[in-house]
Structure 1
Amino acid sequence: MRRYHPEYDAHSERFQLLARELTQAFHKGRGFSLAYQPIYDLASGTPVKVEALLRWRHPLLGQISPGEFIPVAERTGQIAQIGL
C-alpha cells in the first residue's frame, strides 16, 4: 500500500495526454522534426559525423522533450513508429 500524493494524478494525466497526442501526431504526420548536431574530433576540431535528434513541437503544448515523449512511446508500443 502506498500513500496517495496528488502529483501521481498529475503525472498520470500528463502521460495519458501525451500518449493520445503522440498517436494523433503520428497519424497526421506533423509536429516532428529533426535537428542535426555535429560531432567534432577534439584533436583536429573538424566535424566527423552528425547525430539526428528527433524533436516534437505540439501546436498547443509547445516543445516536448524527447526525455518525456520517448518513454511514453516506449510504454505505449508506439516507439517503432518513430523509426519509420
Structure 2
Amino acid sequence: MIGQIIEKEHIGDFRIIPAAEDRTNSLHDKLLAAQRLGNEFKSKTTIVFQTEDGPKRIETTVWSLTEQYLQIKGGVLIPLKAIIEIDF
C-alpha cells in the first residue's frame, strides 16, 4: 500500500489536493462499506489520499459520507476526489 503513514490528528498539517485520477465512482461501494464498518462495528479503515507533499495514509473510523466528502473523527473532512485507495 502506498502513502506515508501519518496520525489522523495531523491531517490539518497537509494541504489535501485532488488525486491524479478521480476514483469516487469506482470506490463508492468500498466507501459505503467503510462507513458501515465504522458506525456499526467501530472498525478502522485505511485511507490513502493525495496531498501537496505526496500520498498520505491514515487508519481511522469513517463516521459519515456525503457526495463530496468522507468524514472522520473530529469533524475532519477528506474530499472524495483526493482518495487514492481505501482498505479494511
TM-score normalized with structure 1 length? 0.29
Q: Which protein has the bigger strand share?
A: 2
Which structure has the bigger radius of gyration? Answer: 1
Indicate the structure whose relative CO is greater, using CA pairs within 8 Å and at least 6 residues apart: 2
TM-score normalized with structure 2 length? 0.28
Q: Which protein has the bigger helix share?
A: 1
